[in-house]
């Protein structure tokens, strides 16, 4: 464990941490006017509880605020990208983007795990290795940025973090089957039916080909190494076919 997390009054350690925080601000593109907000965002409750002065504030309240700011800004980005898109699809896309896994990855890229202040007990039990706590720190950091510089600064940060995933189609993990069913329901049709058309390959590497049928007509096929994967592929192509047909209507 780095010494800076064990000794609070050592000058060399303080200087090292200050440099690390300054480097984080460089990565954020923002110098905090109120440095206490940044320190709070990186303070776990276990560390605040061990503080004998009672002046350390943990990041739980900032995490709550950051979660709301993040959800709003990501929803706004998704809406602007596809104003007429199905609500369910965008809801699932937002859930994927703000999931613990997604936020933990971004926190790691920013170097947050090494900067979070944990209490001795949490440190010993592996708190620094928990992605959920990295994600919490990411949300708290966003809240600190929002409080220090306003919504536009928070929006800029979120945009930099998420715009590539949104623009480059990283939302393809969405549930195409649900999206297809929603589209058919909106058009007054029956739900799709998926039929296994073929099973190919050895038993340990079986590949499935699934037909997606709408109104007793096969409109797309998909393949994959599981029936679910094949169904998703078929639903994706069925969505494209139906939207293309509608676009070509007179």
pLDDT tens, position by position, 41-100? 999 999 999 888 878 899 999 999 999 999 999 999 999 988 877 777 788 788 889 989
Q: How far apart are CA 144 and CA 30, in angstroms?
A: 11
Query: Which residue ranges make up each domain of the chain?
Result: 3-171, 176-247
The answer to whether the CB of 180 falls within 8 A of the CB of 235 is yes
φ/ψ of 186, rounded to 5, equals -65, -30
pLDDT tens, position by position, 105-162? 999 999 999 999 999 999 999 989 999 999 999 999 999 999 999 999 999 999 999 9
Helices (H) and strands (E) in the chain, counts: 11, 3
The structure's pTM equals: 0.65
Using pLDDT thresholds of 50, 70 and 90, give the confidence band for residue 238. Answer: very high
- CATH number of this structure's domain 3-171: 1.10.1520.10
| Active site amino acids | 67, 139
User: CA gyration radius for the chain?
Assistant: 24
Q: What is the pLDDT of residue 147?
A: 98
Q: How far apart are CA 152 and CA 35, in angstroms?
A: 19
Quick one: CA torsion of 92, 93, 95, 96, rounded to 10 degrees? 120
Q: How many CB atoms lie within 10 A of CB 103?
A: 25
- The CATH topology of domain 176-247 is Double Stranded RNA Binding Domain (3.30.160)
In this predicted structure, the answer to whether residue 20 has a pLDDT above a threshold of 60 is: yes
Give the pair of three-digit tokens for residue 205.
């590497």
pLDDT tens, position by position, 161-203? 999 888 765 554 557 888 899 899 988 989 999 999 999 887 7
Of the candidates 243, 204, 237, which has an alpha carbon nearest to the alpha carbon of residue 222?
237
């Amino acid at each position: 464990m780095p010494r800076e997390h064990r000794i609070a009054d050592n000058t060399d350690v303080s200087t090292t941490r200050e440099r690390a925080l300054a480097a984080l601000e460089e990565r954020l593109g923002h110098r905090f006017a109120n440095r206490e907000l940044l320190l709070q965002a990186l303070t776990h409750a276990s560390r605040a509880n061990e503080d004998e002065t009672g002046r350390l504030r943990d990041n739980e309240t900032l995490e709550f605020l950051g979660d709301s700011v993040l959800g709003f800004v990501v929803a706004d980005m998704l809406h602007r990208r596809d104003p007429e898109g199905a609500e369910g699809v965008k809801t699932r896309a937002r859930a994927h983007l703000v999931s613990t896994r997604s936020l933990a990855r971004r926190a790691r890229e920013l170097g947050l795990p090494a900067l979070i202040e944990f209490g001795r007990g949490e440190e010993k039990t592996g708190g620094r290795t928990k992605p959920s706590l990295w994600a919490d720190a990411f949300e708290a950091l966003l809240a600190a940025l929002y409080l220090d510089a306003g919504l536009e600064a928070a929006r800029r940060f979120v945009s930099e973090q998420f715009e590539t995933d949104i623009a480059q189609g990283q939302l393809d993990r969405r549930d195409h089957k649900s999206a297809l069913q929603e589209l058919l329901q909106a058009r007054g049709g029956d739900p799709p039916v998926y039929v296994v058309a073929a099973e190919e390959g050895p038993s340990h590497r079986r590949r499935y080909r699934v037909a997606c049928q709408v109104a007793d007509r096969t409109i797309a096929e998909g393949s994959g190494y599981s029936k679910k994967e094949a169904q998703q592929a078929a639903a994706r192509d069925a969505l494209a076919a139906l939207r293309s047909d509608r676009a070509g209507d007179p």
